[in-house]
Chain A
């Protein structure tokens, strides 16, 4: 299960606190992504980054922030502005899309965040 890692596996926070989730990859992938997964639902895109120092909002970016200072790392901060932060967070990476379209995304093991 190497290649893309997330830490920690479980995270507990009090309401009102910001929390940062780690995502690291050694696959030499250009693009990285953050998804949120709620029970019985699909994966919803929070943010994605196609190159270092650049990122775009996904479908549910409100209350989240990211940075991409290194190719290998794409941390996600869940801020106190996120109304329902308790969820399973998945990070993914892929090669930059080419003329043939997108490439396979490889997922990390996920971080389960619980905010009380």
Chain B
């Protein structure tokens, strides 16, 4: 069935360093790949998304890359700040609206 694997499960970086989270999906028909950030006790919020007709997308300190051949996509956060500390989820979807989520990565940015 459809599956999204996310790594690492936890990530600790020093403030100012970069962080990279990787996801692999199984359904080759997937064409929409969002990333959500969830702070403790709060709702997930979309931070960036990418569609299958694009290889890379950037928004200030956040970027996402997509490799359709290898079926993986990655989130890159540069110049990390303590407020970037949260759980990050990747997801994949085909033309159904149904999102398949990865297991999440807990990012800790140490001041």
A contacts, CB < 8 Å to B: 31, 33, 40-45, 48, 50, 58, 90, 94, 96-97, 99-110
Contact = CB atoms under 8 A, between A and B. Distances in A.
30 contacts: A33-B99, A40-B104, A41-B103, A42-B102, A43-B99, A48-B97, A48-B98, A90-B44, A94-B97, A96-B97, A100-B31, A101-B31, A101-B32, A101-B93, A102-B32, A102-B94, A102-B96, A102-B97, A102-B99, A104-B34, A104-B46, A105-B46, A105-B99, A106-B46, A107-B44, A107-B45, A108-B43, A109-B42, A109-B43, A110-B43
A103 B103 contact: no
Nearest first, the 5 A-B pairs at minimum CB distance are: A97-B97, A101-B32, A102-B93, A107-B43, A42-B101
Contacts of B94: 101-102
Interface string B98-111: 11111110000000
Interface in B11-65: 31-32, 34, 42-46, 49, 51-52
Question: Interface size for chain B: under 10, 10 to 19, 20 to 34, or 35 or more residues?
Answer: 20 to 34
Given A50-B97, A101-B31, A107-B44, 19 more contacts: A42-B6, A42-B89, A42-B103, A42-B104, A43-B44, A43-B99, A45-B99, A48-B97, A97-B93, A97-B96, A99-B95, A101-B51, A101-B93, A102-B98, A104-B49, A105-B46, A106-B46, A107-B45, A110-B43
